[in-house]
């Protein structure tokens, strides 16, 4: 006769007892059944014997052996933490969470401030550069206009001092150099005004060959002398190209 | 330490509380060394295996499901470590499951009462003899569940049998042992 529970339930409850999950009521039922069933009583005795043996084995573990476990584990954990600082398995405790978050927030704030400051500085620099570019573009446009103006002035002939800079930087220059200079000028550019031409003709020395005198006398100087005409005169007169003139004299002549 | 206290500590430990981890190590290491000793028969090796186990727990505690018993998870991790050690050491555990462990338990002394100690040792001798009368499958299941205190479902999985088969085999093993032990006592 089994009171309360049968043998199958007894063994289920014995498992619960081993797991530490058996209630007081279940334990009472277990003992009542064991009192009435010799085989189940022996099963309970076997369980208690093994539990006792295991407990005794635990008690037999040397204290110094138990005490030596944590230092070894702690050392290993520290080594691992130093080797793998980002490893999830060596996370810091919850007690570190608040200061860590606070530090992260502070860093984020500082970083944001620095970024904003840098952004403002870059924007200001960008404005200055834009102004500089605009000024340079304006200057280049003006320069372009000036260049065009110079070209126009050259087309206009000797109205400006540009031709004078084309004279050789020497005391003497040859007829060939003078002729070359005149050829580079626009053919219709006036190089001698009427008065300059009269002065020049009046200064012709007496020893000038008669052929030259006749040729010069035929030059129409009422509208002045143009570059093309002067080149033609030089060619007609057959002046020796290597004949030299004083550069200052040519300069004075053309300036008038 | 109770299961609830253990669970609270484990949760704190899982959240990264180092002090909880230290408390766990201090409170559970004795039982774990004893368990490893049953596998190895060597206190120093048992201590080393326990330290290795704590390192694994430290690395893998986020895998523990708080809905499950922490102690069961802890013991499972430890047993796996001990069995790995035996495999590495070329110990043929499967050939003689639990016999050495039972032998070691026989050598463990009690609180010092000579008469109780004598009764306990005699009972243990009878247990060893009765265990030899079980079938191989009954002995394997009994040793792994009742002696090594493994989780029954995990043992079933390890042995490649159904859980219900394990339950039935275990039931018959216990009953057979109880019958044999009762007969031995009656014969005295």
Ranges in chain A, pLDDT < 70 = 1-3, 84-98, 136-166, 169, 203-210, 213, 254-256
Show which of residues 149-188 on chain B sit within 8 Å of chain A, judged by CB atoms. 149, 152, 171, 174-175, 177-179, 181-182, 185
Q: Which of B53, B47, B67, B63 is nearest to B24 (CA)?
A: B53
Q: What is the 3-state secondary structure (H, E, C) of chain B?
A: CCHHHHHHHHHHHHCCCHHHHHHHHHHHHHHHHHHHHHHHCCHHHHHHHHHHHHHHHHHHHHHCCCCCCHHHHHHHHHHHHHHHHHHHCCCCHHHCCCHHHHHHHHHCCCCCCHHHHHHHHHHHHHHHHHHCCCCHHHHHHHHHHHHCCCCHHHHHHHHCCCHHHHHHHHHHHHHHHHHHHHHHHHHC
- Residue A164 DSSP code: H
- The pLDDT score that the predictor gives to residue B32 is 92
Distance CA A44, CA A55 (A): 16
Residues shown for chain B: 188
Q: Would you call B45 an interface residue with chain A, using a CB distance cutoff of 8 Å? A: no
Distance CA B121, CA B123 (A): 5
For testing contact with chain A, the best of B5, B9, B19, B25 (most A CBs within 10 A): B25
Mean pLDDT by 10 residues, chain B (188 residues): 82 88 92 85 89 92 87 86 77 53 64 76 84 86 81 83 91 89 83
- The pLDDT score that the predictor gives to residue B88 is 74
Task: Establish whether this prediction's ipTM goes over 0.85.
Answer: no
Show which of residues 106-135 on chain B sit within 8 Å of chain A, judged by CB atoms. 108-111, 120, 123-124, 127
In this structure, are strands A172-174 and A244-246 parallel, antiparallel, or unpaired? antiparallel
Q: Would you call B27 an interface residue with chain A, using a CB distance cutoff of 8 Å? A: no
CA B119 from centre of chain: 23
Question: Cβ A57–B37 below 8 Å, yes or no?
Answer: yes
- The pLDDT score that the predictor gives to residue A92 is 44
Q: Which residues of A touch B175 (CB under 8 A)?
A: 7, 39, 43
- The pLDDT score that the predictor gives to residue A150 is 45
- Among A61, A73, A92, the residue with its CB nearest the CB of B34 is A61
> Cα dist. B107→A17, A35, B173 in Å?
25, 30, 24
- The pLDDT score that the predictor gives to residue A241 is 81
Question: Cβ B55–A38 below 8 Å, yes or no?
Answer: no
Question: Cβ B178–A39 below 8 Å, yes or no?
Answer: yes
CA A75 from centre of chain: 48
- The pLDDT score that the predictor gives to residue B25 is 94
Whether the model pTM is above 0.80? no
- The pLDDT score that the predictor gives to residue A226 is 82
- The pLDDT score that the predictor gives to residue B109 is 59
In this structure, are strands A190-192 and A172-174 parallel, antiparallel, or unpaired? unpaired
Q: Would you call B104 an interface residue with chain A, using a CB distance cutoff of 8 Å? A: yes
Place of tokens 């300036």: A255
Distance CA B52, CA A179 (A): 108
């Amino acid at each position: 006769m089994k009171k309360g529970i049968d043998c199958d339930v007894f063994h289920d409850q014995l498992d619960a007892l081993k797991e530490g999950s058996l209630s007081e009521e279940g334990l009472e039922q277990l003992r009542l059944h064991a009192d009435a069933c010799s085989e189940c009583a022996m099963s309970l005795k076997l369980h208690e014997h093994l539990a006792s043996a295991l407990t005794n084995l635990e008690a037999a573990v040397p204290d110094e052996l138990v005490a030596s476990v944590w230092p070894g584990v702690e050392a290993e954990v520290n080594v691992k933490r130093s080797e793998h600082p980002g490893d999830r398995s060596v996370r810091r405790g919850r007690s570190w969470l608040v200061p860590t978050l606070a530090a992260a927030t502070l860093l984020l704030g500082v970083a944001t401030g620095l970024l904003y400051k840098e952004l403002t500085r870059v924007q200001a620099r960008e404005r200055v550069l834009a102004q500089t570019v605009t000024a340079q573009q304006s200057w280049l446009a003006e320069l372009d206009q000036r260049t065009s103006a110079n070209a126009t002035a050259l087309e206009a002939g000797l109205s400006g001092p540009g031709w004078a800079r084309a004279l050789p930087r020497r005391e003497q220059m040859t007829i060939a150099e003078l002729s070359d200079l005149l050829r580079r000028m626009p053919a219709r550019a006036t190089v001698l005004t009427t008065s300059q031409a009269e002065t020049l003709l009046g200064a012709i020395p007496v020893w000038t060959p008669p052929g030259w005198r006749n040729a010069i006398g035929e030059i129409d100087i009422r509208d002045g002398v143009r570059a093309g005409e002067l080149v033609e005169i030089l060619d007609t007169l057959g002046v020796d190209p290597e004949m030299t003139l004083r550069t200052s004299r040519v300069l004075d002549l053309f300036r008038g | 330490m109770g299961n609830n206290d253990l669970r609270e500590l484990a949760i704190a430990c899982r959240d990264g509380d180092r002090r909880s981890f230290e408390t766990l190590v201090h409170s559970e290491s004795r039982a774990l060394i004893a368990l490893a000793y049953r596998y190895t028969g060597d206190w120093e090796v048992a201590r080393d295996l326990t330290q290795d186990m704590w390192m694994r727990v430290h690395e893998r505690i986020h895998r523990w499901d708080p809905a499950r018993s922490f102690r069961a998870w802890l013991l499972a991790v430890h047993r796996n470590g001990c069995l790995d050690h035996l495999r590495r050491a070329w110990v043929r555990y499967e050939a003689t499951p639990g016999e050495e462990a039972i032998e070691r338990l026989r050598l463990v002394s009690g609180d010092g009462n000579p008469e109780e100690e004598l009764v306990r040792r005699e009972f243990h001798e009878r247990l060893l003899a009765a265990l030899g009368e079980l079938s191989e499958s009954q002995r394997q299941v009994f040793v792994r569940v009742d002696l090594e205190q493994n989780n029954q479902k995990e043992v079933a999985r390890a042995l490649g049998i159904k859980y219900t088969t394990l339950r039935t085999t275990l039931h018959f093993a216990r009953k057979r042992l109880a019958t044999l032990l009762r007969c031995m006592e009656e014969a005295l």
